[in-house]
């Protein structure tokens, strides 16, 4: 194969042709470099292709290296933050108070509900109140009925006249005289209690 003859004299056309040829070779190298980048650098690759004029391979490589260095620094900082957070959580878990009474974490035995009692809104608190004698309200029986009647009369503000008081006292005397032995003592106690209460309250109202 014969060698091409040497160019002894250059013209403007030859110079322009050589410049275009060199530029095409540089662009081809740039495209090969950008195509070899990972997908995580896709945004940087798009930015380089939009530049006018296109950067050289050396300039593009320098920009990618800077981006990679920044990402490494950010990744290290992120790892340090996560490590610190994990360490803090572990330390808090180690220092968490454990109740010696129930075995749960977050409180000590002096604040444990099993020791000091459950609050009223808690289901176990209602059971404790029932055991201590705070029974749920029931229908009034015996003395309860007479007490409710007395309270109702007192709340309505109805008083007794002197004549009514004397009639009640006479009624109490008659009941004492004619009360049969078969009558339950508790009933007499209830009648006496409500009668005395009404008389006393009426006298107090009269003096006010």
DSSP string, 124-171: HHHHHHHHTT-PPP----THHHHHHHHHHHHHHT----HHHHHHHHHH
| Residues 159 and 131 reside in one and the same domain | no
Q: Is residue 83 part of a domain?
A: no
The count of structural domains within the chain is: 3
pLDDT 10s digits, 21-80? 888 999 999 999 999 988 888 898 898 989 888 999 999 999 999 998 888 888 777 777
Q: Is residue 6 part of a domain?
A: no
| Residues 125 and 158 reside in one and the same domain | no
**Model confidence at 177: pLDDT above 70:** no
Q: Is residue 31 part of a domain?
A: yes
Range of the domain at 46: 12-78
| Residues 147 and 132 reside in one and the same domain | no
Q: Is residue 86 part of a domain?
A: no
| Residues 152 and 168 reside in one and the same domain | yes
| Residues 105 and 155 reside in one and the same domain | no
Distance CA 54, CA 33 (A): 13
Bridge partner residues of 98 (DSSP): 105
Environment class of 118 (CB within 10 Å of its CB; exposed 0-12, middle 13-18, buried 19+): middle
| Residues 27 and 47 reside in one and the same domain | yes
pLDDT of residue 17: 85
Residue 193: other Cβ atoms inside 10 A:
14
| Residues 126 and 148 reside in one and the same domain | no
Q: Is residue 36 part of a domain?
A: yes
Q: What is the gyration radius of the CA atoms in the chain, in angstroms?
A: 51
Q: Where are the alpha helices (DSSP H) in the chain?
A: 12-35, 42-49, 57-95, 113-116, 123-131, 143-156, 162-178, 185-207
């Amino acid at each position: 194969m014969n060698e091409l003859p040497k160019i002894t004299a250059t013209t403007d056309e030859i110079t322009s042709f050589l410049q275009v040829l060199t530029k095409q070779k540089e662009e081809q190298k740039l495209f090969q470099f950008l195509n070899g980048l990972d997908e995580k650098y896709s945004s940087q690759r798009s930015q380089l292709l939009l530049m006018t004029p296109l950067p050289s391979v050396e300039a593009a490589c320098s920009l990618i290296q800077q981006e990679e260095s920044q990402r490494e620094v950010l990744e290290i900082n992120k790892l340090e933050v996560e490590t610190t957070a994990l360490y803090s959580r572990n330390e808090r878990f180690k220092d968490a108070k454990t109740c010696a009474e129930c075995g749960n974490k977050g409180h000590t035995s002096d604040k444990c509900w099993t020791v000091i009692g459950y609050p009223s809104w808690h289901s176990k608190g209602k059971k404790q109140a029932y055991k201590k004698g705070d029974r749920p309200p029931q229908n009034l029986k015996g003395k309860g009925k007479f007490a409710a009647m007395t309270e109702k009369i007192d709340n309505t503000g109805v008083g007794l006249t002197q004549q009514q008081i004397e009639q009640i006292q006479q009624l109490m005397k008659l009941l004492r005289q004619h009360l049969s032995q078969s009558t339950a003592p508790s009933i007499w106690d209830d009648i006496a209690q409500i009668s005395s209460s009404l008389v006393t309250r009426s006298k107090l109202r009269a003096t006010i």
